[in-house]
Amino acid sequence: MTERRGILALADEPLVARVVAAGGKPFHARSLSRWVLQRGIDRFERATDLPKPLIASLDTEFVPLESTLAEEKRAPDGTHKLLLKLRDGETVETVWMPQREGAATVCISTQVGCPMACRFCASGLAGVVRNLEAHEIVEQLVHARRVGPVGRIVVMGIGEPTLNLEATLAALSRATSPEGLGISARKITISTVGIPDRIRELAKCDRPYTLALSLHAPDDALRHDLIPTARKWTIADLMEATREYFNASGREVTYEYALLGGVNDRESHALALVRLLQGERGCVNLIPYNSVRDTEFRRPTEADVYAFRDTLRRHGVPATVRWSKGLAADAACGQLRIRHQAS
């Protein structure tokens, strides 16, 4: 028997065609989608309102989910880190993060590995293997919902989403559709290292997703040192593209800034960031670095983190600190996958 594909590999129209070809009705396709996406069934026979001949036909060619849970880690703060095994044996990470109020936030990945090679990131160390397909992105949400309810999505996992834009947007379209997961587009954030043309492309999708720009440095010299693949673009180019994104979407941009002890966390860096962001709409999200094996960077002290934040705030730049969740669960992006590969 040939290997069976996940049913979500079929987009809406091909799914209806496949169901009808097996003797079902178009509404059975919608029902099937709901069973897989919303209820996360592991066998078609659990979809009790589908005709038995249709289930038998689907079973010959498809499975509800193509990816399987290879490993799961739970941190004391309730964060769950999932390592999912894909059809070709590659793995990808997804993180379910409980919130103080309401449903959890899920961090999803868009590529196997990442081509951006940020020097401080575990995922960048080994480069990119391939793009994820749309259903491989959606399936991460289905697995995460098995942990608990999901209210927000951050596309901040492994990979640069704007380099896999078509699949990412197709996956998010299923996540936001009432027939899919029904998550508001306003509760979805897409994080990018910042490729100006790709940001403009994203702006054309006309959905109110929040854009998070991974800035990490207030000047080109330091940024290019930390993200050598970003040397083609200046911060000025990025700021122009993010302004265009704001004008198109009406959504304020978040500036992500990984605080690296002794590298970009001095007061002079904070003041340079103030100058850069003067007059811009948006806020700064400070992420104290999580030490990663094989990189030379270190976590800043708590005092330095709050001093940096307070300098920004004192000069009128809104800033928050996001302490990484689930430190005990290999929470730094890519660590679980890397450890799995090494084992």
**Shortest Å, Cβ 199 to ligand SF4:** 14
* 245 neighbors 202 (Cβ within 8 angstroms): yes
x/- site string to ligand SF4, residues 122 to 141, per CB under 6 A?
-xx-----------------
Q: Which of 87-95, 138-146, 153-161, 269-277 is the region at the interface with ligand SF4 (rule: CB under 6 A)? A: 153-161
Of these, 160, 256, 265, 330, which contacts ligand SF4 (CB under 6 A)?
A: 160
Asked if residue 330 binds ligand SF4 (CB under 6 A), the reply is no
Work out how close the CB of 257 gets to ligand SF4 at its nearest, in angstroms, rounded to a whole number. Answer: 12
Distance CA 321, CA 118 (A): 21
Q: For ligand SF4, which stretch binds (CB under 6 A), given 3-11, 12-20, 154-162, 170-178?
A: 154-162
Is 107 one of the catalytic residues? no
Q: With respect to ligand SF4, which residue has the nearer C-beta, 176 or 191?
A: 191
d(CA 182, CA 27): 18
Given the residues 93, 136, 139, 256, select the one marked as catalytic.
93
AA letter at 213? L
Closest CA to 180 of 27, 7, 33: 33
**CB 333 within 8 Å of CB 109:** no
- 114: contact with ligand SF4 by CB under 6 A: yes
Q: Is beta strand 104-107 parallel, antiparallel or unpaired with respect to 91-97? A: antiparallel
- In the annotation, is 333 catalytic? yes
Name residues whose C-beta falls within 8 Å of residue 142's C-beta, 6 or more positions apart in sequence. Answer: 8, 36, 37, 40, 65
Residue choice 47, 95, 118, 215 for contact with ligand SF4 (CB under 6 A): 118
Confirm or reject binding of residue 260 to ligand SF4 (CB under 6 A).
no
From the CB of residue 318, how many other CB atoms can be counted at a distance below 10 Å?
Answer: 15
Active-site entry in 107, 114, 121, 333: 333
104 backbone dihedrals φ, ψ, rounded to 5°? -75, 165
For ligand SF4, the binding residues (CB under 6 A) are 114, 116-118, 121, 123-124, 158-160, 193, 333
